[in-house]
Amino acid sequence: MSSLLFPFFWNNTSLFILDQRKLPFEKEYIKCDTYTDVIKCIKDMVVRGAPAIGVVSGYGMYLAVKNYKGKNFKKYITKVADEFISCRPTAYNLSYVVNRIKDFLLKIPKDKLDNEILELVFKEVEKIKKENKQLLQKVVNNGLKLLKKNSCVLTHCNTGVLACGDIGSALGVIIEGYKNKKVSFVFVDETRPYLQGARLTMLELISADVPCCMITDNMAGYVIKEKKVDCIIVGADRIAKNGDTANKIGTYTLAVLAKYHKIPFYVVAPSSSIDKNISTGKEIKIEQRGEDEVKYINGKPITLETANVLHPAFDVTPAELITAIVTEEGIFKYPYNFR
Cβ atoms of 1 and 208 closer than 8 Å: yes
Residues whose CB is less than 8 angstroms from the CB of residue 279 and which lie 6 or more positions away in sequence, other chains included: 240, 241, 242
Q: What is the DSSP annotation of 83-122? A: HHHHHS-S-HHHHHHHHHHHHHHHTS-GGG-SHHHHHHHH
Residues whose CB is less than 8 angstroms from the CB of residue 13 and which lie 6 or more positions away in sequence, other chains included: 33
Pairwise CA distance, residues 135 & 337, whole Å: 20
Question: Is 237 tagged catalytic?
Answer: yes
Which letter does DSSP use for residue 312 in this model? Answer: B
Residues whose CB is less than 8 angstroms from the CB of residue 85 and which lie 6 or more positions away in sequence, other chains included: 94, 95, 98, 99
Cβ atoms of 74 and 32 closer than 8 Å: no
What is the 3-state composition of the chain as percent helix, strand, coil, each rounded to the nearest 5? 45, 20, 35
Of 82, 114, 217, 237, the active-site residue reads 237
Half-sphere exposure of 280 (CA within 13 A, CB side): 4
Half-sphere exposure of 21 (CA within 13 A, CB side): 15
Pairwise CA distance, residues 7 & 329, whole Å: 26
Beta bridge partners of 245: 239, 317
Pairwise CA distance, residues 27 & 19, whole Å: 7
Which letter does DSSP use for residue 49 in this model? Answer: S
CA angle 257, 48, 31 (to 5 degrees): 165
Active site residues: 237
